[in-house]
Amino acid sequence: MGAPSSTNHFRSTSLPSRLTPPSCSKTATKIHDLKELENLVGTTETIQSRLIGLAELYVSVNELLGAPETQQALSRHQNGTLVQAALEGSIGFLDSCSTLKDMIVLMKENVQTLQSALRRKGGDSTVASQIEAYLCFRKKAKKAITKSLATLKHPEKKRDSFLFVEDGHHGSSTIKVLKEANALTISLFKSILIFVSTKAKTGTRVQLISKLVATHTSTQEHNHMFQSEVETIDLALMLLHKNMRKGETKDVDIQMTRKRLQNLNPSLEGFEDGLDYLFRGLIRSRASLLNILVC
């Protein structure tokens, strides 16, 4: 398979494990590129590129943590206190990544079920029931998303508290990389959660979600995410369900909704694959940190 592309879906990209060993300059370049992507409008393609980039960054982080000079520098600091704190934070990242992937998988399954229902007769009551079931799922998902966003506030507040130490040039540069990786991971998780969310009916819920988004995320990105393809589908389904109940269903509306659902599938698959790659990188990073403690 070829090298990862910012416009290709994950099923056609190379695994991060095939990347070449990084240097400090390469790691810095990856961080810089991720920050540039972070400032762009949160489209599906942008988020997928960030997932690829972050998975690649963790390959670099793991290489860095495996270097003897890095292990010595980190283990010397307060008898490994820094490493222990980083390990504690890694558990939260693994939990968040797993939760996100489960959410995406469940959403993909619901989308596919709805697609199958829409292939049948549009006015069938069974179809209306499937749409209602999907909208019910999305309502529950919004609550789970809001809860997950609130959970991410805790590691965001703590991420810098244990990463301030001067322990020689190499130790300081490694700590900076860990800080940047933490911040980029939290930011990306939030972007995915917001992307698969929808605009709430009340202003209070919108304000709550907006407040939970990272402060460095642009207002332009907020607005775009709240008008994502996921929300467009939700709104289309609500209208279709309403028309079905009135007996005013139009074939063109059904076909358009089916097409939107079909277009959403590759995005969800890309998120699922990307989160899987990232999860592996986080596992390896945790293993590298554990290795430093036992050395």
Confidence of residue 75 (pLDDT cuts 50, 70, 90): confident
Domain-embedded: residue 3: no
Domain count for the chain: 1
Residue 159 inside a domain? The answer is yes
The 10s digit of each residue's pLDDT in 173-228 is: 788 888 899 999 999 999 999 888 865 443 444 443 344 443 434 434 444 443 57
CA distances from 109 to 90, 115, 160, 230 (A): 29, 10, 38, 14
In a domain, 8, yes or no: no
C-alpha to C-alpha distance for 134 and 106, rounded to whole angstroms: 11
- Find how far residue 103's CA is from the centre of its chain: 11
Q: Which of 8-22, 126-140, 166-180, 227-241 has the lowest mean pLDDT?
A: 8-22
User: Is residue 7 a part of any domain in this protein?
Assistant: no
Q: Do the domain assignments include residue 10? A: no
The answer to whether residue 119 sits within a structural domain is yes
Supply the range of the domain harboring residue 77: 19-294
**In the prediction, which pLDDT does 221 show?**
43
Tell me the DSSP string of 218-248: -HHHHHHHHTSHHHHHHHHHHHHHHHHHHT-
Helix (H, G, I), strand (E, B) or coil at 197: coil
Which amino acid, residue 259? K
- Position 79 scores a pLDDT of 55
Nearest Cα residue to 54 out of 146, 171, 192, 211: 192
